[in-house]
Amino acid sequence: MNAAIVTGAAQGIGKAISIKLMQQGIFVFVLDFDDEALMDFSDEVSFKNAFTTMLCDVGEPARLQETITTCISGKYPIKYLVNNAAIACNKPMEDLNFEEWNRVISVNLSSYFFTAKYLAGALRKSRGSIVNISSTRAFMSEQNTEAYSASKGGVVALTHALAMSLQPSVRVNCISPGWIDTEPWQKKSRRNQTHWPPEEHLQHPAGRIGMPDDIANLVWFLLSEEAGFITGQNFFCDGGMTRKMIYR
């Protein structure tokens, strides 16, 4: 059995990715800094012997390195890394302070580099694969999203840089999700089920809002040997919205 590390894994897209990997027979290290979400994950996910939850703030370098070292020393070889952890601090740029900016960059971008750095030896040995989760916000923006957008743009560039540095043993790819309805995948205290009106779905060329499984399925394809000739690439998974010309 091979193992995977997924960051931001206890809820939302990360939870769907973790479950998808377990369905493929992969042991998953479920990293998250939300203890409540980790407890809900442990209670709800049926693959009891296929994962271990780990409380880890990936924005804290020393804690991240310690956690990765623990994963490497585990029973199964690490073959897959999915960098998914992300936070936002969306506010007018005049109000965004240095600490808030740095916190977003640390979690959303720096942690992606350092997980790859700490795992490079293990992934080369297993001829593994990395998938980074960016966002369509790397390519288009709303107001007051400077830190988040900058971090996600950095993820796209980091992906192709890592692909060159880790070649030929490790492939590295990136996914940029669009609007993904993660409400049903949140921890219990935040879980919700919004019934979006038809016009919200139909604005997407694909005819619907995205679901976490849409991202999880693409993650597994890119990690797997079926994508063995793909590296250094970014893939939009957004129902076609980044290709839609919109005028008010």
CATH of the domain at 164: 3.40.50.720
Model confidence band, residue 193 (pLDDT cutoffs 50, 70, 90)? confident
109 located within any domain: yes
- pTM exceeds 0.85 for this model: yes
168 located within any domain: yes
Residue 11 class from Cβ within 10 Å (0-12 exposed, 13-18 middle, 19+ buried)? buried
96 located within any domain: yes
248 located within any domain: no
Range of the domain at 170: 3-243
Which single residue is written with the structure tokens 């070889």? 77
205 located within any domain: yes
Per the annotation, the verdict on 148 as an active-site residue is: yes
Residue 161 class from Cβ within 10 Å (0-12 exposed, 13-18 middle, 19+ buried)? middle
Of all residues in the chain, what percent are helix, strand and coil, respectively (each to 5)?
Answer: 45, 15, 35
DSSP bridge partners of 244: none
Q: Is the pLDDT of residue 248 over 80?
A: no
Residues 6+ away with beta carbon under 8 Å from 190: 11
Reference 237, options 132, 135, 87; nearest CA is 135
- Give the mean pLDDT of 215-238: 98
The number of domains in the chain is: 1
